[in-house]
Structure 1
Amino acid sequence: MNKKNVYVKFLGNRSLLLLWGGQTTSIMGDLLFNMAIMWSVYAHSQSILQSALVGVVWHLTSALFSPLAGVMTDRFDRKRTLISLYVLSALATLGFGSIVFFYGHLSIGFSLFFIFFINCLGVFYFPIETSIMPQIVEKQYLSYAAGTFSSIKQSAQLFGSMVAGFIISLLGVGLAITLDSLSFIVVAVLVFFIKVPNLNGIKVKKEKLSLVNDIKSGWRYIRKSSILFTLMWVALLLNMASFTGSIYPALVSQQLHGGAEILGLIEAFGFVGGIVAGFSSGHLFKRIKPGMLTVLFWVIAGLCTIGIGLSTNIYVTLGLEFFDSFALTGSAVCLNTIEMTIISNQYRGRVFGIIRGLSIVLVPLSTLFAGVLGDVIGVTPLFAIAGIWLMIVALIAFSNKSIRLFRMDEEERITQSH
């Protein structure tokens, strides 16, 4: 099937469009929430450390609760669980936004507490939504679906970044966060109309719930697949460089001498790069071995990250951000496609949860360390360190035969072995 027919097929998949529509709405709401919190914290404190603490909390919740989220994904009805989580998130965000509105700027400790709670709920979205997609999309089209949704997600982030600053300036942080609560209700309604096949493989929910045993079974599944096990540890190393996301406000202020409008512009160029990567990575995936393509993307991202830290010119920074996002998004699409393809449906939730949790377990520490160090040495050395680290991880991945030579036709052997 050619490219045009693949997209026509997606347009005829009502459940897939509803899933994408829900995720897109959620992304725009989350972007509004995250930008409001991140910029508010840095604007009031002028501290890289306090901005980094927000990133620490974001990653800490995923590291702690991703394995549990994966088990729940396999244990319970995925659609009903997702709807319940979105409704609960709406209530929590509404409460937080109302408190901010009535009391004004909150202390960093109080803000971190609410961010932690709301993000705990958000941890469950990823394994559930990622597990649903292979149930409603044929296996041979997953790379196109993953790439297409990546572009849709980046488009939503592009649009969100263009309006988020305006909304925050117009309504204030409290009302902006309250507005985010409405997005969760919209998503819950869209998910309600998704038709998810009840596959015979999901039988564990009828058995006695045992979190430890379920996590152990997921871990054994990962250990039996050399590619999954290797990618998990490579991702753990790679994600240690993700602390740069929480120090962009400081980069804009110190290196480019700009304000929130420059931050939004940089994010917009990053999202455009991600959009291009999403639409092109599915086709690159078919022409280049996915492991090699992922390594190449990481090298490009490393070089661009170093350049972003050194640049004092807004136009150079925007160009580097475009290619950095292109590379990181492309590598994410490759990894996501590999995982969705080779993991059996009945293990998909817990395996996603374990891999996600372990792959970011060191991110809170690296982000906290970067925040402390950044207040001493500034942001430029931090971006250089992150870029060099990305290229080191790319070399480690390239030296591993299971990654370098992996082919998608290995999928049948891996699935049958389980």
Structure 2
Amino acid sequence: MSQKLNNTNLLLFLGSNISVTFGLSMFTIIMTWLAYNGRGSLMDSAFVSIAMMVAQLLIAPIGGVIADRSNRKKVIVLCRLLSCVVIFIVFLHFYINGKLGIVIVSMAATFLLTILSTLSGPVQSTILRELVEKEKFSSVYGNFIALSGVSRLVGQGIAGFLLAWIGTSWSLLTILVVFIFAVLFIQFSKISTKPVNNYSESSSKLRELKEGWNYLINIPYLKWLLITACLTNVSHSSLTIAAPAIAKELGNGPQTFSLLTMSLVFGGLVCGVIGGRMTKKIKTGLAFGYLNLLTGLFTIIIAFSHSLILTCAAVFFLSFVITMDDIMYESIVMLLTDSRYRGRIKGLQVSIAMLLMPFAMLLGGYVGDLIGVRNLIVISSACVFLAAIICFANKHVRSVYSEYYEHAVKNETMQIKL
């Protein structure tokens, strides 16, 4: 009976997450396209992406602390209710004043929604870990990514066409309805609300963050993988701001933008279905290096391709290898990290990994307008190749083998000799 109840709660939890992912993907596409299309400048679309990155950078550590000490169900419900309020306000703005302050409104709305989703992100990770048996986590997490990928794929695919068919205001109203369903799903679930740690309310959040930081930097492979994540995110930031310009060069504006984004999500979806099983059969340390090499290769192909089909194919495979990297990374963190620190480690990793992205996007938007979007992508690929070199050269990254997952199944806390 308890297993059946746990499965029901998992389905409700996944349903809420799928709804949010679907709505956020639509919202991001719409805001990014509106900002870029106003003046046709990479800087404008970069500002929207920067707003998202800054919010994640600032809020992720706080979300990690909240995940370890708070009523997690209330946190998720509150964040999603506030997201509904933000979307409704944006809907009213575009319904009344369709073309006023598009870039500013897009930045502000993206910033606020990202804050709310980032606050609940580490909470969701810890809840998923508790709803799934340890030996099944890698596979379930892969399926979790696949389900999220489906919702993102559909959302991003629909967004461009909805924007062209029914306009901005009614597209936003559709997103609002989706978020309302997300609130209902999580409200009806019976997920654990008990904090992982029994810190008092007066306990210093700064001290808790410091504990998480000390734990992170004392695990060599976590530290070095985080450094490579920072480098790859710099490259990904250039692709993010370049996507609208690439779509415009290939033709058909928002529809092509949606197709490229759908290819990105579809690659992640396919990897999500098979990636969890694959991580149990490969030497993950070496795989990190090979995956970064492939990421750089597909980035170069995107930079030089003038064919929609070839570009979509390159985006698909780029997403596949990035998602495989993410599955391995998340499995390492969630399975091998002491349960008392999972939320904080997750939050710190998100924040630190994105540390350079706002600056990279701002610089990339400026440089891209000067030298062209394709030259910008070629230059940014150097960061991915540097990350690959680090993965191959660093002994701690190379030593993260699949048997460590088996070790984690038998032991709740990490006892790995490095």
| TM-score, normalised via structure 2 length | 0.92
Choose from 106, 109, 120 the match for 1:111.
106
- Identify which of 153, 167, 170 aligns with 1:158: 153
Q: Which moved more, 1:181-190 or 1:136-145?
A: 181-190
- What are the within-5 Å matches in structure 2 for residues 49-88 of structure 1? 49-88=43-82
- What corresponds to 2:414 in structure 1? 415
Q: 1:208 to 1:285 in 2, by over 3 A?
A: same
Mapping 1:208-223, distance limit 5 Å? 208-223=202-217
Q: Does the CA-based 8 Å contact 2:21-2:151 persist in structure 1?
A: yes
Match of 1:322 in 2: 316
Deviation at 1:227, TM superposition (A): 2.2
- Matching residue within 138, 144, 152 for 1:149: 144
Query: Does the Cα contact within 8 Å between 2:71 and 2:195 map onto a contact in 1?
Result: no
Match of 1:3 in 2: none
User: 1:267 Cα deviation (Å)?
Assistant: 1.8
Instruction: Report the alpha carbon displacement of residue 198 of structure 1 after superposing the two structures with TM.
Output: 6.0
Structure 2: gaps of 5 or more residues: none
* 2:292 corresponding residue in structure 1: 298
- Counterpart of 1:97 in structure 2: which amino acid? F
Q: Which moved more, 1:371-380 or 1:101-110?
A: 101-110
Contact 1:285 1:293 in 2 (8 A): no
Q: Find 1:277's aligned residue among 246, 261, 271.
A: 271
Deviation of the 1:303 alpha carbon: 0.4
Q: Gaps spanning 5+ residues in structure 1: where?
A: 1-8
Q: Does the 8 A contact of 2:266 with 2:316 survive in 1?
A: yes
Residue 278 of structure 1 contacts residue 330 of structure 1 at CA under 8 Å; is this kept in 2? yes
Letter aligned with residue 311 of structure 1: S
d(CA) in 1 for partners of 2:112 and 2:194? 32
1:130 aligns with one of 121, 125, 150: 125
Superimposed CA distance per residue, residues 138-165 of structure 1 (whole angstroms, 9 cap, x where no aligned partner): 1111110111111111111222233222
In 1, the alpha carbon distance for the partners of 2:133 and 2:114 equals 31
The corresponding residue for 1:43 is 37
TM-score with structure 1 length normalisation? 0.92
Match of 1:362 among 348, 351, 356: 356
* Percent of aligned pairs sharing the same letter: 27
- Alpha carbon RMSD of aligned pairs, Å? 2.0
Letter in 1 for 2:120: Y
Question: Does residue 184 in structure 1 map to residue 179 in structure 2?
Answer: yes
1:101-158 per-position Cα deviation (integer Å, ceiling 9, x unaligned): 1111232234322322222112112111111111110111111011111111111122
Give the aligned partner of residue 6 of structure 1. Answer: none
1:314-370 CA deviation, whole Å, 9 max, x = no partner? 111121111111111111111111111112222211111111111101100001100
The count of corresponding residues between Structure 1 and Structure 2 is 407
Q: 1:30 and 1:104 mapped to 2: Cα distance?
A: 21
Deviations 1:226-254 (A, max 9, x none): 22222222212221112111220101223
Structure 1 equivalent of residue 88 of structure 2: 94
- Pairing 1:402–2:391 present: no
> Retained in 2: the 8 A contact 1:302–1:386?
no
Q: Distance in 1 between matches of 2:38 and 2:211?
A: 47
> In structure 2, the residue corresponding to 1:195 is in which secondary structure?
coil
Structure 2 residue aligned with 1:121: 116
- For the 8 Å contact 1:10–1:17, the answer to whether it is kept is no
Equivalent residues of 1:63, 1:357 under 8 A apart: yes
- Equivalent residue for 1:4? none
Query: 1:371-412 deviations in whole A, cap 9, x for unaligned?
Result: 000111111111112223212211112211111111324544
Q: Which moved more, 1:398-407 or 1:226-235?
A: 226-235
2:137·2:331 contact (CA, 8 Å) conserved in 1?
yes
**1-structure distance, mates of 2:13, 2:68:** 18
Q: Secondary structure at the match of 1:105?
A: coil
The SS at the match of 1:123 is helix
Corresponding position: 1:267 with 2:261:
yes
Distance, in Å, in 2 between the alignment partners of 1:123 and 1:161 is: 20
Q: Is the CA contact (8 Å cut-off) linking 2:6 and 2:131 kept in structure 1?
A: no
Q: Is 1:98–1:178's contact at 8 Å kept on the other side of the alignment?
A: no
1:304/1:387 contact within 8 Å kept? no
Q: For the residues of structure 2 that align with 1:242 and 1:209, how far apart are their CA atoms?
A: 37
Q: Which runs of 4+ in 1 moved over 6 A?
A: 9-12
